[in-house]
Amino acid sequence: MSDALIRRMKRQIIKAAHSAGEGHVPSAYSVLDLIWVLYNRVMRIDPKHPNDLTMDRFILSKGHASLALYSVLTEKGYFPHEYFNTFCKYDAPMAGHPDCNKVPGVEASTGSLGHGLPMAVGIAMGSKIRRITNRIFCLVGDGECNEGTIWEAALLAAHHKLSNLCCIIDYNHSTDRALQMGDLAAKFKSFGWEAITIDGHNHDEIYRALSYIHNNKPLVVIAETIKGKGVKCMENEPAWHHRAPNNEELKAILEELL
């Protein structure tokens, strides 16, 4: 059931990108499994009350993967499926990067890389101070980990023992050509975090890692993923980073995702 659902969401994503003429489809495919398991099996959510601060909260720091988040929010009932057809249309709520003022269920307006984790740290600290027993999740990219703000936020989270915070790293190795990140688990452990490395497309591994109870430390889950997962011409192909398929490519991709 989950495999068929993921393929259906991927078809929805590629059709939206084709209609809009833009979109970061490979990045969305890279993180879709992670976000789906998070919303479907891990987080306490209430789609009817998306602004309830006592619920678990999620920030997609790598905002260019917005199509994955939009697809999951649609499936979980945050807004009608018709919303998805407005992706990147003029004056429509669903932009290339998520906007918390326009899209129900979007926690933070993101896209400038390196900003999401610092925001998540602030939210996690706020929950601790107010004694709200929720969990704060933030998904960042491996390329985003080139940003100094990620490591400043990591230090602050460990210092304040934010055990309610979980950072998920989409380690699809797209940054390797620019800057090798090496052993991210060891790096975060040296900053005072718990660290788990998983297959970012295995739903059971994702569930176990994100459900892990960690005490007095923030948790980082390094998810080994494939950029463009599920579409052979797109997998780990830099040329697909930010472009929409033409009509022939769309037809072939949709057939592959059946």
Backbone angles phi, psi at 59, to 5 degrees: -120, 125
- Residue-level pLDDT at 227: 97
Side by side, which strands form the sheet with 219-224? 57-60, 136-141, 165-171, 219-224, 194-199
Alpha-carbon span 196 to 210, nearest angstrom: 9
Q: Quick one: what percent of the chain has pLDDT higher than 70?
A: 100
Q: What is the pLDDT of residues 189-201, one digit of tens each?
A: 999 999 999 999 9
Assigned token pair, 33: 């499994």
E-state strands within the chain: 57-60, 136-141, 165-171, 194-199, 219-224
pLDDT beyond 60 at 24: yes
Query: For the chain, what is the largest distance between any 2 Cα atoms, rounded to a whole number of angstroms?
Result: 54
Are 195 and 188 in contact by the 8 Å Cβ rule? The answer is yes
Confidence bin at 1 (pLDDT 50/70/90): low
Mean pLDDT of 17-33: 96
Q: Quick one: what percent of the chain has pLDDT higher than 90?
A: 90
Alpha-carbon distance values, 131 to 74, 125, 156 (Å): 30, 10, 19
Per the structure, how many domains does the chain have? Answer: 1
CATH number at residue 167: 3.40.50.970
Residue with tokens 């084709």: 18
- Residue-level pLDDT at 205: 98
Q: Between the CA atoms of 158, 151, 237 and 183, what dihedral angle is there, to the nearest 10 degrees?
A: -60
Poorest-pLDDT segment among 72-86, 128-142, 180-194, 233-247 = 72-86
**Short-list 75, 106, 60, 87, CA closest to 6:** 75
Q: What is the pLDDT of residues 198-229, one digit of tens each?
A: 999 999 999 999 999 878 999 999 999 999 99
Q: What is the pLDDT of residues 47-97, one digit of tens each?
A: 999 999 999 999 999 999 999 999 999 999 998 888 888 999 988 899 999
Confidence bin at 121 (pLDDT 50/70/90): very high
pLDDT beyond 90 at 163: yes
Domain holding 20, by residue range, is 2-256
Are 67 and 87 in contact by the 8 Å Cβ rule? The answer is yes
Assigned token pair, 208: 């176990």
